[in-house]
Amino acid sequence: MSKYKVTKAVIPVAGLGTRFLPATKAMPKEMLPLIDKPVIQYVVEEAVEAGLQDILMITGRNKNALENHFDRVAELEMNLELKGDKDRLAKVMASSELANIHYVRQGDPRGLGHAVLRGKAHIADHSFALLLGDDVMDSRDVLLSKMLAVHEATGENVVALMEVSPDQIHLYGCAVTEGEVEDGVVRITGLVEKPKNDEAPSNLAVVGRYVLRPKIFEILEETAPGRGGEIQLTDALMTAAQHPERAGGVLGVVFKGRRYDTGDKLDFIKATLRLGVDREDIGQELRTWLHEFNNEI
Ligand code: UTP
């Protein structure tokens, strides 16, 4: 087995989700449903699809709803079984049989870097995938398996990049790149967290998928709180990019598929519609209605 073979995924879900208040007052934003599945289930399914069965969730307050979703609900299962409702029973069982899910609390939400650090004991000295719990990549487009293959072949840290319009780059970590190392893979030499639009070094934004070497924990431990008083993963990745001898360099896989930032209200609505129009059960009716609605507005 390659030294850089990945079997574990970390999914942080401990953010406060302030952009979605008051919906997220008593429930993590990752439990909001896209049609009929909570956002987090799409993310776990993506990890499993890429071969990662061992999942560690970094949870915050209101973690119960998350844990319950991936657990058995005997009463509900029995009720559906008695009714002979096999389809719904299968859907209810699917999430509890999906993966081996472990949980650790973040305590205070002191930033993504701090959340990732909470995974140190579980991950130990293996490379791991990091999937942000509110970022959904359309399952019809390939990303994570390509990132894992690049990591396995090179041993370098890998982040997902997407081209965004120049007026959006201030919302993201922005990559300084140095040309393609292979088709769709670039070397990252620097990163800037949420730059001003007119100061951004590129239009390549870091989006919520990473494959990281365990050395990143050591770097995170040394990383002082940055922007907003939070420990920023971007700052640690910047150190890795500038000191490849310490933690391996950083490569970017440029993703051209469909991504939904479900922590953002508008993107959440777009995701619901994009996924909805292709659904077998509701797609046709939704398309017809959208055409009618379009004439109304
Ligand atoms: P965001 O910055 O989108 O999350 O973090 P947030 O702070 O919850 O959102 P807003 O801006 O207040 O609406 C990206 C991912 O990192 C997790 C979040 O749960 C999300 O999946 N996160 C963020 C943590 O787990 N802990 C943190 O301290 C911060």
Coil, strand or helix at 278:
coil
What pLDDT was estimated at residue 2? 79
Output the CA torsion sign for 259, 263, 267, 272.
positive
pTM, full prediction: 0.95
Question: Nearest Cα to 175, choosing from 209, 212, 135, 202?
Answer: 202
Q: With contact defined as beta carbons under 8 Å apart, do 101 and 30 qualify?
A: no
**Mind listing the pLDDT tens digit for each residue in 136-174?**
999 999 999 999 999 999 999 999 999 999 999 999 999
Q: Average pLDDT, whole number, for the chain? A: 94
Cis peptide before 201 (omega within 30 of 0): no
Among the listed ranges 39-53, 62-76, 120-134, which one has the minimum average pLDDT value?
A: 62-76
The CA radius of gyration of the chain, in Å to the nearest whole number, is 20
What pLDDT was estimated at residue 133? 96
> Which protein residues are within 6 Å of ligand 1, measured from CB?
12-19, 58, 106, 109-112, 114-115, 132-134, 263
Ligand 1 mutation pick, 134, 260, 265, max ligand atoms within 8 A of CB: 134
Long-range contacts of 269-273 (CB under 8 A, 24+ apart): 271/34, 271/136, 272/34, 272/35
How many angstroms does the Cα of residue 111 sit away from the middle of ligand 1?
A: 7
Give the residue-averaged pLDDT of 45-54.
97
Question: Taking the C-alpha atoms of 46, 51, 54 and 60 in order, what is their torsion angle to the nearest 10 degrees?
Answer: -20
Domains in the chain (CATH in brackets) are: 8-263 (3.90.550.10), 264-297 (no CATH)
Q: Does 1 score more than 80 pLDDT?
A: no
Give the residue-averaged pLDDT of 18-37.
95
Nearest CA owner, ligand 1 atom 25 = 14
Ligand 1 mutation pick, 10, 11, 16, 118, max ligand atoms within 8 A of CB: 16
Closest ligand 1 atom to the C-alpha of 13? 19
Give the residue-averaged pLDDT of 52-57.
97
How many angstroms does the Cα of residue 217 sit away from the middle of ligand 1?
A: 19
How many angstroms does the Cα of residue 229 sit away from the middle of ligand 1?
A: 14
| Distance separating alpha carbons of residues 22 and 42, to the nearest angstrom | 23
Show the tokens assigned to 232.
């920023």
Give the residue-averaged pLDDT of 123-147.
96
Grade residue 94 by pLDDT with cuts at 50, 70 and 90: confident
Q: Does 87 score more than 80 pLDDT?
A: yes
Nearest CA owner, ligand 1 atom 23 = 15
Q: With contact defined as beta carbons under 8 Å apart, do 274 and 258 qualify?
A: yes
Annotate 54-71 with three-state secondary structure. EEEEEECCCCHHHHHHCC
What pLDDT was estimated at residue 278? 95
Greater pLDDT, 65 or 62: 65
What pLDDT was estimated at residue 95? 87
